[in-house]
Amino acid sequence: MQMTPVIAIHLSAALAAIAVGPVALWARRGHAAPRAVARPRPRLHRAAGYAWVTLMLIASVSGLFIRDYQLPNIAGYTPIHLLIPVTLGSLFMAFRALLQGQIRRHQIWMTSLYISACLIAGAFTLLPGRYLGQLVWGQWLGWL
């Protein structure tokens, strides 16, 4: 598999989402410096949150157009593609909770989605058989 425009878009959105996600989570909780009271930053939380959701939507939709026929698949869709409906469903549930005023449930959905879709799925992309894994480990092993 080689770098295509769709993979570049998907990879860029996913990496940006990994970076922006903690900003949204941190801004909502606030940051307590020593001997200071934590101050939530709702504007930053909302801006980073909308940016993160947009990046997750871009990563999810672009993922639909990435096919891999080398791994076990059905019509080019591998098991990691199951994260697409999970991600979209989780975003829907998180915004539904927010609209219903269930802030704690919104927080749980968004935190869980960040951990599962960004961190855990991101770790799976580093497996040696995956494109990103070949880039990272191939380069690293080439240095030895």
What is the tens place of the pLDDT at every residue in 35-66? 555 667 888 999 999 999 999 999 999 999 98
Look at residue 128 in the predicted model and tell me its pLDDT.
75
**132 and 126 Cβ atoms separated by less than 8 Å:** yes
Token pair in block for residue 15:
């990496």
As a whole number, mean pLDDT of residues 2-31 equals: 88
> Which residue type is seen at 64?
L
Q: Which residues contact 44 (CB under 8 A, 6 or more apart)?
A: 23, 27
Cβ-based burial of 14 (10 A; exposed 0-12, middle 13-18, buried ≥19):
buried
Look at residue 15 in the predicted model and tell me its pLDDT.
93
Q: The pTM is what? A: 0.83
The answer on pLDDT for 31 being more than 70 is no
